[in-house]
Amino acid sequence: MQDYFFALADAFALFTRGDEVSLANFAAEDSDFVRLNKSAVRQAGSVEQRALSIDLIHGGKHCGGTLTLSGDLDADREHLRAAIARYRERLALVPADPHLLYATEVQSTQQSGANRLPADRATAINALIDAGRGADLVGIYAAGGIYRGFANSLGQRNWYASHTFNADWSFYLAGDKAVKTGYAGFEWNAADFARKVDTARAELAALSRPPRTISPGRYRAYLAPAALSEILGMLTWGGFGLKSQRTKHTPLLRMLEQGAALSERVTLSENTREGVAANFQTAGYVKPDGVTLIERGRLADCLVSPRSAKEYGVATNGAADSEAPESLDLAAGDLALNDVLKRLDTGVYVNNLWYLNYSDRAAGRITGMTRFATFWVERGEIVAPLNVMRFDDTVYTLLGNALEALTDERDFILDAGTYGARSTGSVRAPGALLSALTFTL
């Protein structure tokens, strides 16, 4: 795959004339997909696809598009030649882009992650089927290689490859009752998967008890890593980009302008080195291994795309145009998982959240619904599942004055999205023990 892309990139550079500059971004995958329902395989298949996004630049103008590639190098070269000719004709018709910025200093890199996926592709599927015996296991398993490349006519070449798996599944009980969990990573570990299955089985048994409804109010709560990752995901909606901060669109506006802070337990970073997203950007800038976004509760650095860098006259740190984190990492705490229920004592144990949105963006106020297995806990014991509730609270409560502890173990959560291609977004998140969480209905 790498040799194919570099050969195509060499041809791409030869097609560039005079003082034109060309940028090329390669995206490919070879993935296995398996869907399960009632603890049996219902659909299985494999996908191999390749695409090349190109940008032809002349002066302050640029024009480009995305080509679907066949994998036949000779045919794809001709496809590319014809596309560049079309874009060259269109350059005369487009205006100059005042925020255009791309890497002109050649900085080539290569990162090819080892393929530690099971040699027998059936290993994970058989484990899922075995885990679901006597229950209704439903979900999707995706695994394989993801490849990214960058090249320009100035001679820069960057390559990135990663091999991951993602088992996103639930034990379904009845109606709206299910226990959702997931297991993702770079290397399948049978013992780690078995622990997740055991936990989910125990929660499935508790879910079969008669459900309760509690009155609106403030309750002690524990947010499991999957639930906390949803909260963190909301913060990526403009929370850490230079553009959103300069335009006052960030949901962390009180931190930016009024000196508000989160708990000192919160250190949040963009951890590119241990993520799944590529370590270079589409304009050719190489990303640092990490960018600290919040350090001990205080705003630290922000993500700066090349376009924002040009607009505001600052240096870029290789962020994507969206300036949203792609490999989010919340540092662990010191709360042992086995002590969570004991420390919670009496309150709400939340496994999953969904339908999140801002109820007051400028104030950092978030609302959403509980989902799947949410339990009422008394004296450190799960006593009943809870019916669906809505919460509404600020990030300054959830990750601020109400945050008592973070767990010492974290989940690696891969975005299960496959729209167009497998997502490379990831979150490393612990669980969070809260002294209070506001439920409104």
Tokens of 165: 């798996």
User: pLDDT at residue 247 above 90?
Assistant: yes
- The pLDDT score that the predictor gives to residue 11 is 87
Q: How many beta carbons lie within 10 A of that of residue 264, not counting itself? A: 12
Tokens of 104: 């002109």
- The pLDDT score that the predictor gives to residue 108 is 96
Q: Kind and range of the H or E element at 345?
A: none
User: pLDDT at residue 274 above 90?
Assistant: yes
- The pLDDT score that the predictor gives to residue 441 is 87
pLDDT in tens, 377-416: 999 999 999 999 999 999 999 999 999 999 999 999 999 9
User: pLDDT at residue 72 above 90?
Assistant: yes
Contact 229, 371 (CB under 8 A): no
pLDDT in tens, 199-246: 999 999 999 999 999 999 999 999 999 999 999 999 999 999 999 999
pLDDT in tens, 140-189: 999 999 999 999 999 999 999 999 999 999 999 998 899 999 999 999 99
Instruction: Please state, for a pLDDT cut of 90, what percent of the chain lies above it.
Output: 94
Q: Provide the pLDDT confidence category of residue 317 given band limits of 50, 70 and 90.
A: very high
Tokens of 136: 């209704």
- The pLDDT score that the predictor gives to residue 14 is 86
Which residue type occupies 433?
A: L
CATH of domain 2-207: 3.30.2290.10
- The pLDDT score that the predictor gives to residue 423 is 95
> What's the whole-number average pLDDT of the chain?
96
Q: Provide the pLDDT confidence category of residue 371 given band limits of 50, 70 and 90.
A: confident
What are the C-alpha distances in Å from 247 to residues 215, 241, 308, 312, 323?
A: 39, 10, 11, 11, 13
Overall average pLDDT of the 36-52 stretch: 96
Q: What is the secondary structure of 369-418 as a DSSP string?
A: EEEEEEEEEETTEEEEEB---EEEEEHHIIIIITEEEEEEEEEEEE----
- The pLDDT score that the predictor gives to residue 87 is 94
Domain boundaries in the chain?
A: 2-207, 217-439
pLDDT in tens, 318-368: 999 999 999 999 999 999 999 999 999 999 999 999 999 999 999 999 999
User: pLDDT at residue 197 above 90?
Assistant: yes
